[in-house]
Amino acid sequence: MKELVDKLSEKHSLSESEYAALIRGRALDITAELAGLAVQTRRAIYGNDVFTRGLIEISSICKNNCLYCGIRKDNHNANRYRLTEDDILSCAAEGYRLGFRTFVLQGGDDPFFTDPVLCGIVYKLKENHSDCAVTLSMGERSRESYKQLFDAGADRYLLRHETADPEHYARLHPKEMSFANRMQCLYDLRDIGYQVGCGFMVGSPFQTPETLAKDLKFIEEFKPDMCGIGPFIPHHDTAFRDMPAGTVEETLYLLSIIRLIHPPVLLPATTALGTIDPNGREKGIQAGANVVMPNLSPVEVRGKYELYDNKICTGEESAQCRQCLDTRMRAIGYRLVVDRGDIKRQTEVNSNV
């Protein structure tokens, strides 16, 4: 184990079977060692700064049927809502006052958000807040659509790959969705010029050390600008309701490994991690993460964007979440910064290390 850790930290690369061995060999001592190295690596690039992104959940309407997700089309108990353009712009304006310089628009695959509609919103966001980055997390769209949104001003795109194993992918998604298309989207986004984020759930049903090893190899090769990982948490109205949730321990372990694989990656301590452990986000930062994404959605709709059960921060106002995270980060020796929070490119990294 020790040899694998040393190799990973020096070469930022392991073979797929070595990644699988590292995952199978998770134990307390090795977890602590990886976290120490991950924090050191992150600190050399980003110091003790934690970047924030203001998350605006624009629609819980979805025409897809991902088996794990609480807002899947076939969940007839889901509460559906859609924010108006005015709602979105005023959430962002409030976020700006609170110090956010990146807005993430996330939503289900809602046919209302056609290219002209979404481009109009992106354009206005950039017009109102030219010093901010706009990140979209709106699922699979055509290359042409991604290009139009980029030309309208979108800077970044988050599209979790969910799993880099095609058979595993097929067990998590309905047959209309394809692994090949998901991967193609990520390469198209990169090609168009976006900063791109991939990611996966930790402990998703049917995940194994071997499928995780493929995720890690994919991250090593694709070198995403962002990587979102958080525990799978079952939603009571899905077929996976009785499946076990992912664990804090495994999520933290993987955060540290991902930091070492790709040192400059923007790595959030996710809301899902904060949901399964009251101090999950702090623990995520202490394992090598450097981003938090508090919610800016209007309080009236927050509970309705229910991808999984017991999600935190559904009753708090944006200002409360900002304040809460500020306090939490200070308590562990970090600070939330008012910054777009772009990835530091390798050249900048080298001159900093």
Site residues (vs ligand FES, CB under 6 A): 294, 313, 316, 320-321, 324-325
DSSP secondary structure string, 96-125?
Answer: HHHT--EEEEEE---TT--HHHHHHHHHHH
How many Cβ atoms sit within 10 Å of the Cβ of residue 184? Answer: 13
Residue 40 or 320 with smaller CB distance to ligand FES: 320
Q: Strand 226-231 to strand 195-202: parallel, antiparallel, or no bridges (unpaired)?
A: parallel
Number of residues assigned to the chain: 353
Tell me: does residue 164 bind ligand 5AD (CB under 6 A): no
Least distance (Å) between residue 314 CB and ligand FES: 9
Tell me: does residue 233 bind ligand 5AD (CB under 6 A): yes
Half-sphere exposure for 240 (CA within 13 Å, toward CB): 25
Choose the binding region for ligand 5AD from 51-59, 231-239, 247-255, 322-330 (rule: CB under 6 A).
Answer: 231-239
Least distance (Å) between residue 160 CB and ligand 5AD: 4
Whether 243 and 275 have beta carbons less than 8 Å apart is answered as no
| 196 SS3 class | strand
Residue 69 or 92 with smaller CB distance to ligand 5AD: 69
Find which of ligand 5AD, ligand FES, none residue 40 binds, CB within 5 to 8 Å per kind: none
> 2 is written with which tokens?
């020790």
Find which of ligand FES, ligand 5AD, none residue 69 binds, CB within 5 to 8 Å per kind: ligand 5AD
For helices 2-11 and 28-46, the axis angle rounded to 10 degrees is: 10
Find which of ligand FES, ligand 5AD, none residue 313 binds, CB within 5 to 8 Å per kind: ligand FES
Whether 19 and 254 have beta carbons less than 8 Å apart is answered as no
Gap between the Cα atoms of 199 and 227, Å rounded: 5
Find which of ligand FES, ligand 5AD, none residue 308 binds, CB within 5 to 8 Å per kind: ligand 5AD
Least distance (Å) between residue 157 CB and ligand FES: 24
Tell me: does residue 78 bind ligand 5AD (CB under 6 A): no
Tell me: does residue 157 bind ligand 5AD (CB under 6 A): no
Residue 124 or 304 with smaller CB distance to ligand FES: 304
Tell me: does residue 201 bind ligand 5AD (CB under 6 A): yes
| The one among 83, 91, 248, 272 contacting ligand 5AD by CB under 6 A | 272
Choose the binding region for ligand 5AD from 174-182, 218-226, 229-237, 276-284 (rule: CB under 6 A).
Answer: 229-237
Least distance (Å) between residue 164 CB and ligand 5AD: 13
Gap between the Cα atoms of 271 and 287, Å rounded: 15
Backbone angles phi, psi at 106, to 5 degrees: -125, 145
Least distance (Å) between residue 219 CB and ligand FES: 27
Tell me: does residue 218 bind ligand 5AD (CB under 6 A): no
Whether 126 and 157 have beta carbons less than 8 Å apart is answered as no
Dihedral over alpha carbons 200, 203, 206, 207 (to 10 degrees): 60
For helices 85-98 and 115-128, the axis angle rounded to 10 degrees is: 30
> 66 is written with which tokens?
């991902």
Residue 324 or 332 with smaller CB distance to ligand FES: 324
Least distance (Å) between residue 253 CB and ligand FES: 24
| Strand boundaries in the chain, DSSP class E | 49-52, 54-59, 102-107, 133-137, 156-158, 195-202, 226-231, 291-292, 335-337
> 301 is written with which tokens?
């709709």
Residue 54 or 263 with smaller CB distance to ligand 5AD: 54
Sequence-ordered list of residues with C-beta below 8 angstroms from that of 243, at least 6 positions apart, any chain? 205, 232, 234
Find which of ligand FES, ligand 5AD, none residue 262 binds, CB within 5 to 8 Å per kind: none
Residue numbers of the site for ligand 5AD (CB under 6 A)? Answer: 68-69, 160, 162, 201, 230, 232-233, 235, 272, 307-308
